[in-house]
Structure 1
Amino acid sequence: MRPADASGFQESGAEMKHSVSKKTCIPRRNEMVSIIQQVVGRVSRTEEVPFDQSLGYVCAEDVLAVNTLPNTPVSRFDGIAVRYADFEGGPPDTSAWTEGGDYEYANTGIALPDGYDTVIAIEDVIIGETGIRICELPEYQGEMVNPVGEHMRQGETLIPAGEMIVPAHIGLFAAGGVNRVRVYSRPRIGIIPTGDELIPPGCPLPLGKNVESNGYMIAAYMTEWGAQPVNYPIARDEPGELAQAVRLALDENDALVIIAGSSLGTKDFTLDILGEMGEVIVTELAHGPGRKSSLSILEGKAVLGVAGPPLGAQITCDLYLAPFVSALRGLPHRQMPKLDVISDDAYLPRRMDFCERAHIYHAEDGYHIRSAFAPKTTRAQMQALSQGNYYRPAGSSCEAGGRTTVELLCPIEMIPSRDKLLEVLGGVIEPYE
């Protein structure tokens, strides 16, 4: 893990409730991503995996071809194999040519018969009862023939160290005779939910309690992005229990995600515990939702604190869990695709950066957005209707009918062709600010 360095970012001058480092800062979005990239390093542990199970891993060393392909000249197309010398003096008389003497049939990818060096496509040959007629003569020796090593050569690099394996590489490994690949192990990331109010999924829900759902969502994100999540039981709002849970998870994982407990409530102990055990670099963020997220280094391992409210947790995952996992894997920051849109709502300036969940739909004049924070929508409806994030810097605004840019949360093909938010709300949407 690289040493923490938060220089150049906004320092917190306020008196903090928590025991944190003097380097603590309250970064905006791009600053937080930069800090993650500075202080979170690749997990160096490696392993060997079968080539056909290596998809999505990052190569720990160059993968070299064992085979040379083709290892003998082969036909590039279906046709007939001929000797180019027969054509050097001009068009030969082929009326009495016979198979096996003057020509041989050649099939795509099959080795040329001995003694032949050129191929004529079958579409350019008319086979008669006696002899053949060639409609298109070859122009050079070796035409329509793949020479030795045209596809790959023994010892050449099929994929360099540090790159992620994609499906095309699996085919190269198979063709190249590579049976096993040395890769960086998927980072193990422990997930610790906190809070007296939480109960596990599947249990009866008492009054005043809430279901722990963030940990399962975060684990799903991690799996999608190539990490190995490890879910831990809910840690109660008691300093000793939380500290014990953190110590156990630190011993068993490469990094941690701790959910909630970083606000200023009477039972929010997470940052106090992290400050006692290591260095808290970021205590909160300069935007909402997800403001009460954090970043710490404990015993050389990175700990990402995720805000407890589900929407804040989702946005923290979108903006920061992705680069957190990428840094642990030694990969570049995952950028969310962007889309130019027309805003149906008027967005007024805010005092701090704000990330809106946006409903996107396609109309005749282009893509449109509405805020998914519409009155009378539940969180579940908002999630179902959100196709993008609209990140608004402090002081920025957008008039109704104005153009702006959003980040996509789904493939563009999944964007509906009608305003589903309007349908859900019965055709009446109150003005949004």
Structure 2
Amino acid sequence: MTIPTLQQAQNLILAHIQPGAGEIVPLDQAMGRIAATAIRARLAVPSFPQSCRDGYALRAEDTQAAGAGPSASNSGPGRPQKPAAAVRLQVRGEIAAGRTRPATGLRAGQAYRIMTGGMLPPGADSVIAFEEVSREAADHIMLTVPCRPGAHIRPVGTDLRQNQIIVPPGRPVCPEHLPLLATAGVGELAVYRRPRVGLLCTGNELLDDIEGNPPPGSLISGNRYLLAGLIRRYGGEPVDLGTVRDDVDAIAAILAAEAPGGFNALISTGGMGPGKYDLVSRALAKLEAKLLYEELRLRPGKATMAAVLGKTLFFGLPGPPPAVHLLFYLLVAPALRRAQGYRHPRPVTVQARLTDPLPLRRGDFLQLKGSRLDAEAGTLLVRLTRPDEAINAIILVPPNRRQLKKGELVRVQPLAAGLPGLGL
């Protein structure tokens, strides 16, 4: 079997996982979920003609004589100017926001006092602001300017038309969608199920008890917590299958028992060394799994594998947590995104400028470096992470380089959950 590149490995993985079944969830649980179908407005927004100002709702045709001044023949030097014509309208009542409009529509010469957000009464086609009229009496107003039809009115469907798509299929429900969905009367929506991912850590040296003191030669398993956090970050539901000793039969037994359990994916860490330590590969061979690859042309990741076990996608990752961290983002995360219905599950690649030189060990493979990516004055800048920092991107170092220079442009894959300020 030829050793695939990173892109070829991603192609193999994505070819063997499909979006899961859909489910209906209430709106308050929809944040971040992926739309299984187009989510449409049940109601138009607004669903009634609405006033945009505090003022008076009226018929524009009743105001056209307002403001008419003297004709040219009646004006001239030395002649007194006649005041602009005024229109007098009767105020029928008041319409506050949230009140149903009156059953009786406007007749000629009538108006309703109306508040912002109020429903226009039948027959009204214009709104004039309070400051543009004068009150002649408690039930009459005077206008000296004409009104145009549609002034200060939000027609039905201004924000959303009935049946308009709010969230396209394959897109995540974002905070900005929530008020639109609520006002459009969408209380439930169809989203893809979260993928269930089983995780298994292998190693005689690993202990599960985080409160005890490990004896010499042993250590507390950290990958189980790392993987659980990464799976949740990418929308999955982790299921901890525990820690198993370095034994081919024991590994094969737990994989055989769990593969039919409704998992979208299974992940193991450790047991990926050469020769007698190649335990996971031998366990999969016993189970007659379909092997996709058993090493990759990258570091870390040369000792990694993927297979299909029954109907479940399987990832065999190395033991060191830094390697697990980087490989999860590039191999497992795209599979989880595809399982949730993302239309574009692959990582995005951008170019960024190195802020510090990066010395390297020369190698024939692509190298992965955890890094920090930031934006400054419209430029993307990247550097290696410090010990107290979380990575938010991965530098893709091309083969056969001994050093990357300060200021050099490099290829970087931002981690989708780590760059809220960069729009990536």
Q: TM-score range by the shorter chain?
A: 0.7 to 0.9
Q: CA deviation at 1:326?
A: 0.9
Distance 1:104 1:363 in 2: 55
Deviation digits for residues 276-298 of structure 1, max 9, x if unmatched? Answer: 32111110111111322211001
Q: Which has the higher strand share?
A: 2
Tell me: CA distance 1:411–1:90, structure 2 relative to 1, closer, same or farther (3 Å). Answer: same
Deviation digits for residues 381-429 of structure 1, max 9, x if unmatched? Answer: 6362645422111124655333223344543769xxxxxxxxxxxxxxx
Is structure 2 residue 264 aligned with structure 1 residue 254? yes
CA contact (8 A) 1:345 1:371 kept: no
Match of 2:251 in 1: 242
Equivalent in 122, 128, 136 of residue 120 of structure 1: 128
Percent of aligned pairs with the same residue? 24
Q: CA deviation at 1:67?
A: 2.5
Is structure 2 residue 270 aligned with structure 1 residue 283? no
Pairs within 5 Å for 1:64-75: 64-75=40-51
Give structure 1 stretches of 5+ with no counterpart: 1-10, 13-25, 373-380, 415-433
> Which piece of structure 1 moves more, 253-262 or 142-151?
142-151
RMSD: 3.0
Match of 1:99 in 2: 91
CA contact (8 A) 2:63 2:143 kept: no
Pairs within 5 Å for 1:207-226: 207-226=216-235
Match of 1:40 in 2: 17
Amino acid at match of 1:272: R
Match of 1:19 in 2: none
Amino acid at match of 1:103: A
Pairs within 5 Å for 1:355-370: 355-358=368-371, 369-370=382-383
CA contact (8 A) 2:65 2:87 kept: no
TM-score by length of 2: 0.79
Q: CA deviation at 1:327?
A: 1.7
Amino acid at match of 2:184: G
Q: CA deviation at 1:268?
A: 3.1
Equivalent in 172, 180, 192 of residue 184 of structure 1: 192
Give structure 2 stretches of 5+ with no counterpart: 69-84, 93-108
Pairs within 5 Å for 1:10-49: 11-12=1-2, 26-43=3-20, 45-49=21-25
Q: CA deviation at 1:309?
A: 0.8
Is structure 2 residue 399 aligned with structure 1 residue 351? no
Distance 1:265 1:210 in 2: 23
Match of 1:378 in 2: none
Q: CA deviation at 1:361?
A: 7.5
CA contact (8 A) 1:358 1:370 kept: yes
Amino acid at match of 2:324: A
Amino acid at match of 1:35: L
Is structure 2 residue 321 aligned with structure 1 residue 301? no
Match of 2:33 in 1: 57
Amino acid at match of 2:270: A
Q: CA deviation at 1:116?
A: 1.8
Amino acid at match of 2:44: T
Tell me: CA distance 1:143–1:166, structure 2 relative to 1, closer, same or farther (3 Å). Answer: same
Distance 1:363 1:175 in 2: 38
Amino acid at match of 1:316: L
Tell me: CA distance 1:129–1:204, structure 2 relative to 1, closer, same or farther (3 Å). Answer: farther
CA contact (8 A) 2:64 2:146 kept: no
Distance 2:193 2:377 in 1: 48
Is structure 2 residue 204 aligned with structure 1 residue 196? yes
TM-score by length of 1: 0.77
Match of 1:392 in 2: 397
CA contact (8 A) 2:366 2:396 kept: yes
User: Which of the two has higher C-alpha Rg?
Assistant: 2
Distance 1:399 1:302 in 2: 36
